[in-house]
Structure 1
Amino acid sequence: MSNSNPSKPGSPVWKSLETLIAVFTIIMIAAHLILRFALVTSETVQNFPLWAVLALGGTPLVWGLLVKMFHREFGSDLLAGISIVVSILLDEYLAGSLVVLMLSGGEALEAYAVRSASSVLQALSKRMPSIAHRKIDSRIDDVALDQIAIDDTLVIFPHEICPIDGIVLEGHGVMDESYLTGEPYMMSKTPGSQVLSGAINGESALTIRAEKLAVDSRYAKIMEVMQTSEQHRPRMRRMADKLGAWYTPLAVLIGLIAWIISGDPVRFLAVMVVATPCPLLIAIPVAIIGSISLAARRAIIVRDPTALETADTCRTIIFDKTGTLTYGEPHLTEQIYAEGFKQDEVLSLVGSIERFSKHPLAQAILNTVQAEKTITHEATEISEPPGQGLQGTVNGHSIQITSRKKLLKQQPEVESQLPEQAGGLECLILIDDLYAGTYRFRDTPRTDGLSFINHLSPQHQIQRTMLVSGDRESEVRYLADQVGIENVFFSQSPEQKLEIVNEETAQTNTIFVGDGINDAPALIAATVGVAFGQNSDVTTEAADVIVMDSSLQKIDEFLHISRRMRRIALQSAIGGMGLSMLGMLLAAAGYLPPVAGALTQEVIDVLAVLNALRVAIPPKALIDFTPGSTI
């Protein structure tokens, strides 16, 4: 059902009205209590704030519930509307005002927590530059993106976001494309290289030729997919709605039967008062809010309360690769040496010059040097021309770090000495112009990846685990083997990721875990979207849950918090409704008049809420797997 009509319940205008009603009700109830305990004897004066609540707040809420009933939407809130009317007829104005607060306050809290599509798209738009630097001859002018034509020459300054898809004409540097492609490394850019809109430029200016219009660029397509996925996201039935779907008509039926059999309408009113669904309207939100607080204390931000209700029912979990099951950092995984060269000697010479490099793989080599306690030496004549590799002199030896392509261009005769090309990244080492070895790099898998994946099925009833990445096949399959995932999809665009998630979600509830802009549409489409860290405003806006401390243990904690919240909330709601059912039967039999019924319901409410408050008490442990090594 569309919420485009502002007069419909659930529309943005309606949610704003509910928020105003909640605030107004709190103020008026406080005013009533002040007058009451200030020994004001006039009941009219005492009750005036409550009349205002019921007239100004209760009327629009009851009208909204009538609209829902007209559209055949019967939930627990419908019974609350009946209770508001009944409380007026019984002169139970405080009870009616409290129901108004429960009804409007719950909606207001949900509206505050739940993400809207516009916030995601706004974050996307804010990240993208509004202008581009167009170069004509020697002049550079700033022009709007929609004025850029195909084949225009543009300049991208250092650290700017690339405004359009294109090809490098001049300059050498690197770009961070990880948000868009899933590749975890800074990608080298030389004349002829492709650049993508949304990528972050490095420290060197690049001149590019526009290959597409702004509306057709990669970034624009992601925005388009994001908008589509948000518009077609299915509405989840809340826990209270499901329980209220049978509780509400049953309570009305009991009241009507009592009225018909006894001939006394007061019996119906008594049943309605004791049937007020406070365990649903208060206990479940209390459990949710307590769980949100517990999660926040553990660096897990729950943006959509529905995620807490549904996470424990998810049976498929889908991971992006980079930054979720990996650290998003290159790791030196293999050292291959030519005949006549020793590992410690070559690593010492390479480490001696890599200390002066800004290349993203340099730190991986230095980490290995440190781990193996290799001694380094003074280096001289260091040079690292953009796109040309690293050169230097150590202990009288000429050292060069280069790529396979550049080495074969310089010395084609060494091809027979080189190992076969494998997945991941590599660099080749020349010592005194002789091929000395090859270093291979992979994105570093998380050390707890294998044990985490292995425990999902027995401990969380996850029936299907998937790895969906924009990275290359060799990289994705390498990681899948490391962590034990069999369902693998590689080289996936945001559109393809979205299609996969939609297909899986159509069959069962899903969790998607990602951390890049290219994951945002999938995060929205999944039943529960979980984002790692704060790498992107777009990603965090699209996610239902944000894990601030990027750790698989936090995912486990969230799943346990969800399960615990559902268990305690259901205990409170079903237990409270069970006691209410007993009270309704007593009221229907004439043993519980309206006033006593209202007091009985208050006792039931207190018990349900007290039980729900247990959810905020931290348990002894919230993880049930032992982190182990995947390597």
Structure 2
Amino acid sequence: MLFGQKNEKEISSLGVESYIALLAIICITLHLAFQYALPKFQAYALYPLYITLALGGSLLVLELIRNLINFQFGSDLLAGISIIASILLGEYLAGSLVVLMLSGGQTIESYAIRSASKMLEVLAKRSPTIAHRKKNEAIEDIPVEKIAIGDTLLIFPHEICPVDGEVTSGNGVMDESYLTGEPFLISKAPGSEVLSGSINGEASLTIKSTKLAQDSRYAKIMQVMSETEQKRPQMRRLADQLGAWYTPLAIIIAILAWVISGDAVRFLAVLVIATPCPLLIAIPVAIIGSISLCAKRGILIKNPIVLEQIDQCKTMIFDKTGTLTYGKPSLTDQTVYNNFDPKEILKLVASIERYSKHPLASAILDKAGEENIKLLDVQQISEPKGSGLLATVDKHEVLITSRKLLTKMGLERDVSLLPQGAGLECVILIDGKLAAHYRFRDSPRSESKSFIHHLFPKHGIKKVMIISGDREEEVKYLANYVGITEVYAGKSPEEKVELVVEETEKAKTAYLGDGINDAPALLAATVGIAFGRSSDITADAAGAVVMDNSLKTVDEFMHISKRMRAIALESALGGMALSVLGMIIAAFGFLPPVAGAISQEVIDVFAILNSLRTIWMPTKISDM
């Protein structure tokens, strides 16, 4: 890595590395052409190499000095010393090749990495800057920062809602997929809640703002994403971990050879063969080969470091809906009370659920569609926090709630009439009377249970958790089925991040989620895995994207990582062991610098060829 561990500011320097790599390629090509193909220009053959070393080499020397001051002894440090040694030895071509290896390796890797700042740019571009405020029948455009709580705002067709609020007039639909991860439209009527960042449909809506712009849902997600990225700890790359002990060892051997023999050439000879090419090339080759294999298996690698880290994770955290389940609940049982007509109940409930963003709403609407029920207009709707969904439709007051809320309302007698058993459910009251109990099933993925149970014996995962925004009874029902004991339900994106950060401080974590509300948690985990393609923001936050929504593919990803790490270690440690042997021979004066450089190139070839094995499809890639 040319500039060691990079923070957000340093990422901009990747463009410089690309230019250095291009310059090195051009200059090395010119050198070879002048030296061997164009005899008339042979006298100028070294000049292109001087340019490469003066520009690229000078950056490395500056970085070398900084690392020495900070007592950092990574593979970059040794490469910098190798360039200085090559200059002192007159091995300008070798020095230029080291510059190319360093800058070229980082340039290749940068194409596979997209930083969180890109996500924030996308979010910021979507955020509206102007709102239409209605005051005394007049409409004025104001900056969103000047919106006050209680302001009346107009949301025109296809506009993005600037703040959280409540519909006061108008009927329409909004796309809230950016906020919830659910790929369907939510109907809106007077009393409905609207979220900042959602996209309005064909009809204009009038809303009353309930939060300031900076306190709204969309702004909060942006804030959490930004804070998470700033606090995210840097992961040490495998090359740096190995280089931390290899570099001091090489320098000690070189110094001892010089001091004991009194011959400075031996110091340079040791450093030439000590050039950490197995670290600088073999490991990136193994990673790039694994990225290619992942692509063939429907896994998109957004950040190559996840291939190094997933095999080291000890805690795996799941979102619920759409990851461990298929995310498509269905209405399976309808129990009716007090002589109500089942079809009439379904008509009233489905008419209301058009305006709900609850995952069960789609199941009720699907059932009404199957029975060809014509939906009614809703006069008034509200969803007070912790009270259920209350609406007036066809002159009836309808409440869709839970058995827990019935108990809080003092309706224990009605609760005693409800069917027993856990799972997804809702209770319907019409004009204050118990009308029906609906039970749903969001089917767990066929491989969920086997995947959870094989994580410890096959991957060394010691702790498995569910962190979900869904209701507690729903999450616990699924957790019991698949065999997960640690459950956190009803969590907001901010709370998810807090839990993930807390767990990551204890051990390396992998987080698996599919909605934009999972994006901050994906970013906070050691390894974030986006499940499916429901959100571009989620995909950008994750280090890897499993394109086919299959837990078996997640297992394949974990095995590819394990195999990549093993092959990378074989290449790096094997190459380093041969290099150490060469250093010892050089220290005793039996391997001059030129022969050492040739020996190092032979070692590099073997290390790279071994790393290329990661491209090949293994006989068995999953144990599920």
- Whether TM-score is above 0.5 comes out as yes
The answer for the alignment partner of 2:122 in structure 1 is 123
Q: 2:611 aligned with 1:617, yes or no? A: no
The residue type equivalent to 1:132 in the other structure is A
The answer for the alignment partner of 1:248 in structure 2 is 247
SS at match of 2:399: helix
Distance 1:524 1:253, change over 3 A: same
Distance 1:130 1:478, change over 3 A: farther
Contact 2:186 2:354 in 1 (8 A): no
Q: 2:404 aligned with 1:405, yes or no? A: no
The answer for the alignment partner of 2:326 in structure 1 is 327
Shift of 1:598: 0.8
The answer for the alignment partner of 1:524 in structure 2 is 523
RMSD: 3.7
Distance 1:333 1:26, change over 3 A: farther
The residue type equivalent to 1:405 in the other structure is L
The residue type equivalent to 2:46 in the other structure is N
Q: 2:143 aligned with 1:149, yes or no? A: no
The answer for the alignment partner of 1:587 in structure 2 is 586
**Whole-Å separation in 1 of the counterparts to 2:161 and 2:201:** 11
Shift of 1:469: 1.1
Q: Deviations over 1:172-227 (max 9, x none)?
A: 45555565467887666443333322234456543211112111212212222221
The answer for the alignment partner of 2:44 in structure 1 is 45
SS at match of 1:309: helix
Shift of 1:455: 1.2
SS at match of 2:439: strand
The answer for the alignment partner of 2:500 in structure 1 is 501
Q: Deviations over 1:1-47 (max 9, x none)?
A: xx9x99x9972454332221111111111222333341526643222
Q: Deviations over 1:341-380 (max 9, x none)?
A: 99xxx89x989x999x97887874797899xxx9x7xx69
Superposition pairs for residues 239-388 of structure 1, below 5 Å? Answer: 239-336=238-335, 364=363, 382-386=374-378
Q: 2:88 aligned with 1:71, yes or no? A: no
The answer for the alignment partner of 1:629 in structure 2 is none
Contact 1:87 1:273 in 2 (8 A): yes
Shift of 1:136: 3.1
Superposition pairs for residues 534-613 of structure 1, below 5 Å? Answer: 534-613=533-612
Shift of 1:147: 2.6
Shift of 1:259: 1.4
Shift of 1:436: 9.1
Distance 1:363 1:209, change over 3 A: closer
SS at match of 1:592: coil
Flag structure 2 segments of 5+ consecutive residues without an equivalent.
Answer: 382-393, 402-410
The answer for the alignment partner of 1:450 in structure 2 is 449
Shift of 1:285: 0.7
Q: TM-score, normalised by structure 1?
A: 0.84
**Whole-Å separation in 2 of the counterparts to 1:362 and 1:164:** 24
**Whole-Å separation in 1 of the counterparts to 2:400 and 2:103:** 68
The answer for the alignment partner of 2:439 in structure 1 is 440
- More displaced, 105-114 or 526-535? 105-114
The answer for the alignment partner of 1:397 in structure 2 is none
Contact 1:529 1:542 in 2 (8 A): yes
Shift of 1:572: 0.2
Shift of 1:296: 1.9
Shift of 1:126: 1.9
The answer for the alignment partner of 1:211 in structure 2 is 210
**Whole-Å separation in 2 of the counterparts to 1:543 and 1:159:** 29
**Whole-Å separation in 2 of the counterparts to 1:43 and 1:164:** 70
- More displaced, 134-143 or 147-156? 134-143
Shift of 1:523: 1.4
SS at match of 1:499: helix
SS at match of 1:321: coil
Q: Deviations over 1:513-556 (max 9, x none)?
A: 12222222211111111112333332222221122222222211
Distance 1:496 1:437, change over 3 A: closer
SS at match of 1:129: coil
**Whole-Å separation in 1 of the counterparts to 2:173 and 2:442:** 18
**Whole-Å separation in 1 of the counterparts to 2:507 and 2:295:** 28
Q: Deviations over 1:266-318 (max 9, x none)?
A: 11111111111100000001111111122122222212111111110000011
Contact 2:414 2:434 in 1 (8 A): no
Count matched residues.
Answer: 590
The residue type equivalent to 2:237 in the other structure is R
Superposition pairs for residues 37-116 of structure 1, below 5 Å? Answer: 37-40=36-39, 43-116=42-115
Q: Deviations over 1:486-535 (max 9, x none)?
A: 11111112221111111111111111112222222211111111112333
Q: TM-score, normalised by structure 2?
A: 0.85
Contact 2:398 2:429 in 1 (8 A): no
Distance 1:481 1:493, change over 3 A: same
Q: Deviations over 1:143-195 (max 9, x none)?
A: 33123222111233455433211122223455555654678876664433333
Contact 1:273 1:594 in 2 (8 A): yes
Distance 1:128 1:423, change over 3 A: farther
Flag structure 1 segments of 5+ consecutive residues without an equivalent.
Answer: 390-399, 626-631
The residue type equivalent to 2:377 in the other structure is P
Distance 1:269 1:617, change over 3 A: same
**Whole-Å separation in 1 of the counterparts to 2:272 and 2:443:** 61
Identity across the alignment (%): 56
Distance 1:506 1:436, change over 3 A: closer
The answer for the alignment partner of 1:393 in structure 2 is none
Shift of 1:94: 1.6
The residue type equivalent to 2:102 in the other structure is L
The answer for the alignment partner of 2:132 in structure 1 is 133
The residue type equivalent to 2:399 in the other structure is K
Contact 1:173 1:386 in 2 (8 A): no
Q: Deviations over 1:217-251 (max 9, x none)?
A: 12212222221111111111111111111111111
- More displaced, 467-476 or 38-47? 38-47
The answer for the alignment partner of 2:25 in structure 1 is 26
Contact 2:181 2:514 in 1 (8 A): no
**Whole-Å separation in 2 of the counterparts to 1:185 and 1:425:** 21
- More displaced, 215-224 or 266-275? 215-224
Contact 1:183 1:470 in 2 (8 A): no
Distance 1:574 1:306, change over 3 A: same
